[in-house]
A and B are shown apart, each in its own frame.
Chain A
Amino acid sequence: MLVIGEKLSIIAKRVREAMMNKDKGPIQEIAKAQYEAGAGMIDANIGPAEDGGEEIMEWMVTTIQEAVPLPVCLDTTNYKAIEAGLKVHNNEYGLPMINSTSNDPERFPMLELAAKYGCYIIALTVGKGGLPADEEERAAIAAEIMARAMEYGVPLEHLYLDPLVLQIATTQDQAIKVIRAVEVFKQLNEPPMKTLVGLSNISNGCPKDIRPILNKYFFLMLLNAGLDAAIADPAEIKEAMEEKPLFDAVVQGQEIEDKEKMKIIKKTIDVIEGNTLYAHSYLEM
């Protein structure tokens, strides 16, 4: 399991300010904390970065790699910024990853870069139109992207298929479809395709105290479906892995000693599988 630390994102105020002021301190501190919690790669989300994106990405990649011996996941829609980041990336720590291409023609140039620099690339299984309805639509899009990757000269083992996690609070029925998509993606090639999710979007819009619960158990369900990588909070993934034996026991219908935990696991699985309707207080029912 490859854990890609999600914390260096422009959405976080502290990160945004550090990026604007070129203040290495917070960036390196966050990168180190994620490394210590078990991250195998660090996501650098600089947003659309239309102005000065190249310089920002260069600075982010070097700043991160000064602090931790990890590859970087370059997260922006700005093609030039990605290339600038790839150029300065230290590949001794592992190959970098491009986040991301999709079935939208505007995102095809990202495949060119992945071929040119021989790096990994995330493929979001969405097209130019609306969101995919189910795992079958996701698989159809995945197949198109795979064919295109080969045309561009990107080896399939460099491609990570991302089914696109949606918010459980507003699109509950998609949660189980994402899990099924991971299973289907694995079958699209031999050796199996690699799969990846942006995990925490599942609990976006949910109350703070239940977010880690949803993230953890959704992750374990995905893991059991064959997931290879997650952009996530490495500390949460660590906790999830510690709870995995308990979780698997509950899934197999066994009684576990911690009845409270068992209830939480069961209710969360029911919500993710769509057996009960999600509400912010679903654990209190």
Chain B
Amino acid sequence: MAFVVPKESFAGKVFPVTIGTEIQETFGGENTLPFHSFEGEIPNRPLIAYEIQDIPPEDWPETVREVYSEVSDDPAKWAKYCVDELKAKAIALRLIGTHPDQKDLSADDAVKVVKEVLEAVKVPLIILGSNHVDKDSEVLVKVAEVAKDRNCIIGKAQEANYKTIAAAAMANGHKLIAMSELDINLSKQLNILITQMGFEKERLITDPMCSALGYGLEYTYSVMERIRLAALAQNDPVMQPPMLADVGMYVWKIKETQASEEDLPEWGSLQERGILWEAVTTASLLLAGAELIIMRHPKAVELVERFIDEMMG
């Protein structure tokens, strides 16, 4: 008797999420494990967004800062460069300058930046705060308004501030990132709380919190994997939103992407090392189930896109 490859099929399905207006992108929507196209339907590719920010990226390592040295003084120019030159399918604008420990820019400053970026590019926009619980609820409420009906993703809502941010996203027709700190049960709890406000679970994106290779990647991997299994195998509707891996900011602050070749010659080329670190971290999290990725280095993005091509067959 011929050998028949056993196939696993699942009752659950990840919600597809479409963002943008003039140019739209959709991610999620699969009813099978990552890249298991032989077992189910994977209608959409994972989506990679290029990360830009409201202030020049002085704390990014040289390897990735130099790529944007001509444009990073102006967020609109930076966004346009990513779209026109690097063929970015989506932009993730991080309003890091609003953080009280950074430049403490006001919500109005942030509004101005968001407006300019929205005018400069037509691809979908992800608008991220500075991860400061209080400041984010102030800033994200205002930027959600100015981006009204542009179908952006707003984030990140956390346990301590989800009410105001979710309400703003809901009122202005945006999608929302719900972030918890590497705990699957808290991740589910936050999604429940947000949906209890009347926010549709089909408009959510779960961020279980990212980490870089060598810095706790296995925790993120395991939480993502279990969330995806809950969505598919347990058919748990609260766990069916697609997942975000916010890779760039975690990878480009670790030693391995910054230590010079003079100090650590045995580690090899600093440039290659950083790019590979971002690509490998991302590829791992794609295998764990992430559908939306935020990255920084175009060469790393290129590697990951090739990886996705091969995996999607």
Are A281 and B185 neighbours in the complex by a CB distance under 8 Å?
no
Among B185, B196, B230, max chain A CB count under 10 A is at B185
Are A281 and B239 neighbours in the complex by a CB distance under 8 Å?
no
Are B193 and A277 neighbours in the complex by a CB distance under 8 Å?
no
Among A276, A280, A281, A284, contact of B234 (Cβ-Cβ < 8 Å): A276
The answer to the question of A278 belonging to the interface, with a C-beta cut-off of 8 Å to chain B, is yes
A contacts with B, residue count (CB < 8 A): 12
Are A281 and B196 neighbours in the complex by a CB distance under 8 Å?
yes
Could you give, for residues 169-190 of chain A, a 1 whenever the CB lies within 8 Å of some chain B CB and a 0 otherwise? 1101000000000000000000
B205 to chain A, nearest CB (A): 18
How distant is the Cα of A280 from the Cα of B185 in the complex, in angstroms?
A: 8
Scan residues 20-67 of chain B and give those whose CB is less than 8 A from a CB of chain A. Answer: none
Are B185 and A284 neighbours in the complex by a CB distance under 8 Å?
no
Are A281 and B184 neighbours in the complex by a CB distance under 8 Å?
no
Q: Which residues of A contact B230 (CB under 8 A)?
A: 276-277
Scan residues 229-285 of chain A and give those whose CB is less than 8 A from a CB of chain B. Answer: 275-281, 284-285
A102 to chain B, nearest CB (A): 28
Q: Which residue of B lies closest to A205 (CB)?
A: B185
Among A170, A275, A281, contact of B192 (Cβ-Cβ < 8 Å): A281
Are A281 and B193 neighbours in the complex by a CB distance under 8 Å?
yes
Known: A281-B192, A284-B192, A284-B196. A276 touches B185 (CB 8 A): no
Are B185 and A172 neighbours in the complex by a CB distance under 8 Å?
yes
Could you give, for residues 158-193 of chain B, a 1 whenever the CB lies within 8 Å of some chain A CB and a 0 otherwise? 000000000000000000000000011110110011
Among B183, B192, B226, B239, max chain A CB count under 10 A is at B192
Are A277 and B188 neighbours in the complex by a CB distance under 8 Å?
yes
The answer to the question of B116 belonging to the interface, with a C-beta cut-off of 8 Å to chain A, is no
Number of A-B contacts defined by CB within 8 Å: 35
Q: Which residues of B contact A285 (CB under 8 A)?
A: 192, 238
Scan residues 182-241 of chain B and give those whose CB is less than 8 A from a CB of chain A. Answer: 183-186, 188-189, 192-193, 196, 226, 230, 234, 236, 238-239
Q: Which residue of A lies closest to B184 (CB)?
A: A277
B262 to chain A, nearest CB (A): 42
How distant is the Cα of A280 from the Cα of B238 in the complex, in angstroms?
A: 13
How distant is the Cα of A212 from the Cα of B230 in the complex, in angstroms?
A: 26
Are B192 and A279 neighbours in the complex by a CB distance under 8 Å?
yes
How distant is the Cα of A276 from the Cα of B230 in the complex, in angstroms?
A: 8
Q: Which residues of B contact A277 (CB under 8 A)?
A: 184-185, 188, 226, 230, 234, 236, 238-239
Q: Which residues of B contact A278 (CB under 8 A)?
A: 185, 188
Q: Which residue of A lies closest to B231 (CB)?
A: A277
Are A281 and B189 neighbours in the complex by a CB distance under 8 Å?
yes
* A contact face: mostly helix, strand, loop, or mixed: loop
Known: A279-B192, A281-B193. A170 touches B185 (CB 8 A): yes
Q: Which residues of B contact A279 (CB under 8 A)?
A: 185-186, 188-189, 192, 238
Q: Which residue of A lies closest to B188 (CB)?
A: A279
Q: Which residue of B lies closest to A207 (CB)?
A: B189
Scan residues 184-206 of chain A and give those whose CB is less than 8 A from a CB of chain B. Answer: none
Q: Which residues of A contact B238 (CB under 8 A)?
A: 277, 279, 285
Q: Which residue of A lies closest to B230 (CB)?
A: A277
Among B186, B196, B226, B236, contact of A276 (Cβ-Cβ < 8 Å): B236
Known: A169-B185, A170-B185, A280-B189. A275 touches B234 (CB 8 A): yes
How distant is the Cα of A276 from the Cα of B236 in the complex, in angstroms?
A: 7
How distant is the Cα of A275 from the Cα of B188 in the complex, in angstroms?
A: 14
A130 to chain B, nearest CB (A): 16
How distant is the Cα of A169 from the Cα of B184 in the complex, in angstroms?
A: 10
A285 to chain B, nearest CB (A): 6
Scan residues 113-171 of chain A and give those whose CB is less than 8 A from a CB of chain B. Answer: 169-170
A216 to chain B, nearest CB (A): 20
Q: Which residues of B contact A170 (CB under 8 A)?
A: 183, 185
Q: Which residues of B contact A280 (CB under 8 A)?
A: 185, 189
Q: Which residues of B contact A275 (CB under 8 A)?
A: 234
Q: Which residues of B contact A276 (CB under 8 A)?
A: 230, 234, 236
Q: Which residues of A contact B186 (CB under 8 A)?
A: 279
B8 to chain A, nearest CB (A): 18
How distant is the Cα of A281 from the Cα of B236 in the complex, in angstroms?
A: 14
How distant is the Cα of A169 from the Cα of B189 in the complex, in angstroms?
A: 11
Q: Which residues of A contact B184 (CB under 8 A)?
A: 277
Residues on B lying within 8 angstroms of A by beta carbon are 183-186, 188-189, 192-193, 196, 226, 230, 234, 236, 238-239
> 13 interchain pairs (CB within 8 A)?
A169-B185, A172-B185, A275-B234, A276-B230, A276-B236, A277-B188, A277-B230, A277-B236, A277-B238, A277-B239, A278-B185, A279-B188, A281-B193
Residues on A lying within 8 angstroms of B by beta carbon are 169-170, 172, 275-281, 284-285
| Shortest 7 CB-CB contacts between residues of A and residues of B | A279-B188, A279-B189, A281-B192, A277-B230, A280-B189, A278-B185, A277-B188
Could you list 18 further interchain pairs (A-B, Cβ under 8 angstroms) beyond the known A277-B188, A279-B188, A279-B192?
A169-B185, A170-B183, A170-B185, A172-B185, A276-B234, A276-B236, A277-B184, A277-B226, A277-B230, A277-B236, A277-B238, A279-B186, A279-B238, A281-B189, A281-B192, A281-B193, A281-B196, A284-B196
